[in-house]
Amino acid sequence: MIREQIRSIIVEVIAQIVPDEDLSNLRGDIRIRDQIELDSMDFLDIIMELRKRYGVEVPEDDYIQLATLDGAVAYLEPRMAHL
């Protein structure tokens, strides 16, 4: 799976969790939580949805790597290569 696909998947999952947010200007280098209304439960829901849909396990110690969209893509790319 390529980076653009993974980015689209992440944005799609975020849109499902917080459907009222405008994600069209979501920047990759700024913390997602600094750009949209996203609380800690929403963040966990995103991680759980990625696990449910794609079988991606993210240990709690790695959550910080998913703070930005670019970081999330870089973290998930090798874990989603088999898809």
Q: Which CATH class for the 3-79 domain?
A: mainly alpha
pTM: predicted TM-score of the whole model, two decimal places: 0.92
What is residue 41's predicted lDDT score, i.e. its pLDDT? Answer: 97
Angle formed at CA 71 by CA 67 and CA 74, multiple of 5 degrees: 150
Supply the mean pLDDT for the chain.
95
Could you give the percent of the chain with pLDDT greater than 70? 100
Joined together, the tokens standing for residue 28 give 């990759």
Q: Is the pLDDT of residue 23 over 80?
A: yes
Confidence of residue 45 (pLDDT cuts 50, 70, 90): very high
